[in-house]
Amino acid sequence: MAVETKNSVVERIVEPFDCLHFIDGKFVPSVDGKTFNNVNPVNEEVYGTVAEGSAADIDLAVAAAKRAFEEGPWGKMSTQERSKIIRKIGDILEERQEEIAQLESLDTGKHLKFSRHVDAPRAAKNFHFFADYMISVGTEAFQDETHGAINYGYRRPIGVVGLIQPWNLPLFLLTWKLAPALAAGCTVVIKPSELTPMTATKLMEILKEAGVPDGVVNLVHGFGQGAGSAINKHPDIAGIGFIGQVSTGAKIMEEASKTLKKLSFELGGKNPNIIFADSNLDEVVETTIKSSFTNQGEVCVCGENIFVERSVYDEFVEKLAAKTRQLKVGNPFDMEYDQGALVAKVHYDKVMSYFKLAEEEGATFVTGGKRPEGLDKGYFVEPTIITGLEYGARCTREEIFGPVVSIIPFDTEEEVIAMANDSRVGLSNTIWTNDIRRAHRVAQSIESGLSYINCWFVRDLRTPFGGTKDSGLGRVGGVHSWEFYTEITNICVKL
């Protein structure tokens, strides 16, 4: 296990490694031999290579998944047998949490505190949850007295599923899609983000160790225009689960339309955090510091727009700024720090471009707005609070996906609801008030898939997760995941 030394720097028990594809139970290079570099976001140095997949590699992976689905033992196993294997995957992930957490921090630049307490344990929990869920879920039945018949639902897996995954919570979100797909009896082709390939590759070793048959899960690294596009267009892939940007979701939908695949999208958001004057501001600040800057703000449900009732606006800004200034940014393996680096140069450049835009739009930087002093290498950004922008400015409209929040005053409940709904996206919102009637009224009025009242990022894996408008298609979690990865046949029996 890792230990903390006297200077609080954690000793690494893992090292970066080169990432190959995993097809039909074997690690293999690309058909054409192409690779690309894996770059350390903390020091901007190359620390490995990654196989660059193309349509040819996707063809091999899909063929293996199709054989495993139609001819292999996976679909013929009893539910209880599959459940044991899925539970074992979770057990191994749990046993290797420190290794997984360190790999995740190496690849993403995020602080080890977050990888240890969120990414690694939640990956294990996803498999444990669906191992239990799959042996308890039932189907509907209806007795038709008029015709003397009974109808019941029979569920079967949809077949080969493509999973195209993001870079912000790489293993956590991959397992959130993979666990129910396996529980339902599907076989899978995965394309992880090209920015974070290592934990997905390590997971393939764990699946094999747990007893998942060859071909059931296949992994092809690469880029959206190559491997990703080939998944979207492949006629033998029955459904695609995607987490990522709105624009990418639109491209997937366009490319997948020729074969009418099932689609499950979890897309972007510009989530409102609404604070009424009757709430306990100290409690609000304790949670808002997390909902603003957790994982460097690279979480889909982070609250980028903070709406504060005008009578407590100045007090809230002062309290949040004081807490924000206490956050330390630096080496993700040093426990003296709270935040690490952004994931890659392309994302760092995007976030920094919004600071320039905010200046042009007339913003005031209460905190941050620049690279931390003394960190000349790596993709580090100070936690940033912006004020002075009218709602409607680009920085209040467009998802930045970094450690950046805008604080905006409001006067009435109706006004803040109108601002929250004046958006093309609708993933989540957070509402702070001690008025129980107002809490429910506002939660039911805002157009989003998730609403947190006096809390944030509290997840029960049985509940629906997903967005409205441009923030996604469908829901995942519990029965909602089950419905995506299965097809139901109604069987009518005349008695």
| DSSP string across 209-259 | HHTPPTTSEEE----IIIIIHHHHH-TT--EEEEES-HHHHHHHHHHHGGG
What are the two backbone dihedrals, phi and then psi, of residue 431, each rounded to the nearest 5 degrees?
-125, 130
- What is the C-alpha to C-alpha distance for residues 204 and 283, in angstroms, rounded to an integer? 42
Q: Which residues pair with 417 in a beta bridge?
A: none
| Inter-axis angle of helices 170-184 and 79-95, nearest 10 | 160
Instruction: Tell me if residue 306 falls in helix, strand or coil.
Output: strand
Helix (H) or strand (E) holding 51: strand 46-51
Q: Which residues pair with 156 in a beta bridge?
A: 487
CA 24 to chain centre: 26
* DSSP structural state of residue 101: H
Query: Is 266 designated active site?
Result: yes
230 residue type, one letter:
A
- What is the C-alpha to C-alpha distance for residues 347 and 355, in angstroms, rounded to an integer? 13
Round to the nearest angstrom and report the end-to-end CA distance of the chain: 62
Closest CA to 133 of 97, 167, 182, 76: 182
Tell me which of 52, 194, 255, 266 is the catalytic residue: 266
Tell me which of 19, 99, 186, 300 is the catalytic residue: 300
Query: Is 302 designated active site?
Result: no
47, two tokens: 């620390």
- What is the C-alpha to C-alpha distance for residues 246 and 363, in angstroms, rounded to an integer? 26
303 residue type, one letter:
G
- As annotated, the active-site residues are 266, 300
